[in-house]
Amino acid sequence: MPNRKPWWIWALVAVGVFVLASPLLIFLIWPRIETVAKARMWAYDQPCLWNTPSAIPDLSISPVQGQSISFSGVTFDLPWNDLSNQRDLKKVGMLVLGFDSGQSIALYVGGPAPAFLDMPDAAPRAGTDPQMKAFQQERSIAQSTPSRVRLWGSPQSEFEWVLVKSFRMDNCNRPEVFSVSTPGFKGFQYGMIQPGNWNTSAEIRLYSPSHTVVFHLQGAYPRPPVATQADINLIVQSLREAPLQRVY
């Protein structure tokens, strides 16, 4: 029978391999550890990042009081009749509406932004969605939480979703996130305007196969907000793509 080497020789070999490989392991794993740690620190400072999409608690819809607004291929109705000014910023695809009450609506309309579409893909979430890639990425952002940033997998990609979600939630000034769906659009609402608190806002991001639409509503200042969730629901649910005008 061949002579077997003593166990302590194998132990020394194992220790030597570990010592030699440790710098490489640290070099490969440390960035992942750092990313996971950053995600946990962000969650400590911004607990709203743990929130995931839920149903809007108030589904009531205000009656149409104002005019219909058309801009960049979409149309929606207003719940108020005190529209005082419109600022059309066509170069950036934005329309700003001001009202006598102090309420304002900023509207962005465009297609899927190339820079946004070039962000790293997140892991698949519960099947696929027939909407375009922009909506799928927005869903990944809305559903992201610090717990998804794990040591193994793609921690940097998941952390980027959490980082964008922090911007969407305005550092927890918009702590809620709701799923939104209309016959032509799907998306998410970040934040809810609170009655009596002017320092609140809501951002609604909606996607269709041909448009990306973002509404931003800021609480009226210095008066309490006149916008209610029912008002927001009217604006969102009345959103539709404007018919193309034929030129003869």
DSSP code per residue over 171-235: TTTS--EEEEE-SS-EEEEE--PPTT-SS-EEEEEEE-SS-EEEEEEE--SSSPP---HHHHHHH
Mean pLDDT value across residues 72-79: 92
Distance separating alpha carbons of residues 220 and 193, to the nearest angstrom: 10
- Mean pLDDT over residues 93-100, rounded? 88
- Mapped onto helix, strand or coil, the DSSP state of residue 125 is coil
Residue 239 pLDDT greater than 50, yes or no: yes
Residue 120 reports pLDDT greater than 50: no
Domains and CATH numbers, the chain: 7-241 (3.40.1000.10)
- Mean pLDDT across the stretch 89-115? 80
Cβ proximity of 178 and 197 under 8 Å: no
What's phi and psi for 193, nearest 5 deg? -70, 125
Please report the pLDDT score of residue 196 as a whole number.
65
Q: Which two tokens stand for residue 240?
A: 């539709």
Mean pLDDT of the chain, nearest integer: 77
DSSP alpha helix (H) spans, the chain: 7-45, 114-117, 133-143, 155-168, 229-237
3-state secondary structure at position 132: coil
User: Average pLDDT, stretch 79-86?
Assistant: 88
The reported pLDDT for the residue numbered 66 is: 83
Q: What is the pLDDT of residue 69?
A: 92
pTM for the model stands at 0.77
At 122-177, the pLDDT tens digits run 444 444 444 468 888 899 999 988 877 766 667 777 878 888 998 999 988 899 99
Let me know the angle formed at the C-alpha of 129 by 151 and 35, rounded to the nearest 5 degrees: 15
Encoded tokens for 223? 């008066």
Chain position carrying tokens 């509503």: 217
Per cent of the chain over pLDDT 90 is 29
